[in-house]
Structure 1
């Protein structure tokens, strides 16, 4: 029997969600993970991605998380995100510019480019653009 459990989506600045849900879909460093009620305990790092959940009332919701951690416990799941935003808060032009800058850095192969940082910036920008695109569907 599935049931409901508490989800909290937190950043250092705010709480984006705190309430009962049926399912959470997140992307960890090991791949996508689906969380239902009574899931086994898990603590895993998250990569920049669109985090989805369905509330206990059947409403589908999403935020873009810029990495962080997912902690699944017996009664609640907590997403501790470095930063997160709802798709409607994303400035598409700014996200496209960030993606372009990151790609230019990676393609330059310049010795002063911090490749890991540029790859992280690219992943964040692409996650933000994916979320904005989902609003248009």
Structure 2
């Protein structure tokens, strides 16, 4: 019988953010949004700042904000590797808004994109 779940690991540079079994993963890559189900073809892609959504097998839906990184899919294993990643439950909207404002004042487009991704994540919490 074929496996019916994905083994998912979401890893930041300093910690494992989430690890477990899932039925589906959605992530944003440099090529566009990507949905992953069991049996997905092997892929190695570049992540862009955005929200990753994981449908856990226990009914838990996990949402996380990732920065730049990589997404690897092979043999029903999904590895999401990002320099920095946060579960949306870890984000404070007012703090993220302040971070976005500072990035705009600094005219740091990369920091603006990261803060905007975090802000989208807070809307899911």
Task: Say yes or no: TM over 0.5.
Answer: yes
Contact kept, 8 Å, 1:2 with 1:36, in 2: the verdict is no
Q: Which runs of 5+ in 2 are unaligned?
A: none
Residues 103 and 122, structure 1, Cα contact 8 Å, conserved in 2: yes
Does the 8 Å contact 2:50/2:117 carry over to 1? yes
Q: When the two structures are superposed, what TM-score results if normalisation uses the length of structure 1?
A: 0.83
Q: Which has the higher helix share?
A: 1
Please identify, of 43-52 and 94-103, the stretch whose mean Cα deviation from structure 2 is larger. Answer: 94-103
TM-score (ref. length: structure 2): 0.91
8 Å Cα contact 2:46/2:70 also seen in 1:
yes
- SS of match in other structure, 2:14: coil
Counterpart Cα distance in 1 of 2:12 and 2:105: 29
The one of 96, 117, 129 aligned to 2:119? 129
Equivalent residue, structure 1, for 2:61: 60
Instruction: State whether structure 2 residue 84 is matched by structure 1 residue 88.
Output: no
- Alpha-carbon distance in structure 1 between the residues aligned to 2:66 and 2:35: 16
Q: What is the CA-CA distance between 1:77 and the residue it aligns to?
A: 0.6
1:91 offset after TM fit, Å? Answer: 2.5
Question: Does residue 44 of the first structure (1) align with residue 45 of the second (2)?
Answer: yes
Q: Give the Cα–Cα distance (whole angstroms) in 1 for the partners of residues 13 and 112 of structure 2.
A: 22
Q: 1:100: Cα distance to partner?
A: 1.3
**Compared with structure 1, are the counterparts of its residues 101 and 58 closer, same or farther at alpha carbon in structure 2 (3 Å cutoff)?**
same
Aligned to 1:113: none
The alpha-carbon deviation at position 131 of structure 1 amounts to 1.2
Deviation beyond 4 Å, 4+ runs, structure 1: none
Is the Cα contact below 8 Å between 1:20 and 1:56 reproduced in 2? yes
Deviation of 1:67 after TM superposition, in Å, equals 1.6
- Alpha-carbon RMSD across the aligned residues, in angstroms, is 1.6
- Do residues 15 (structure 1) and 5 (structure 2) align? no
> What runs of 5+ residues in structure 1 fail to find an aligned partner?
107-117
* Larger Cα-atom Rg: 1
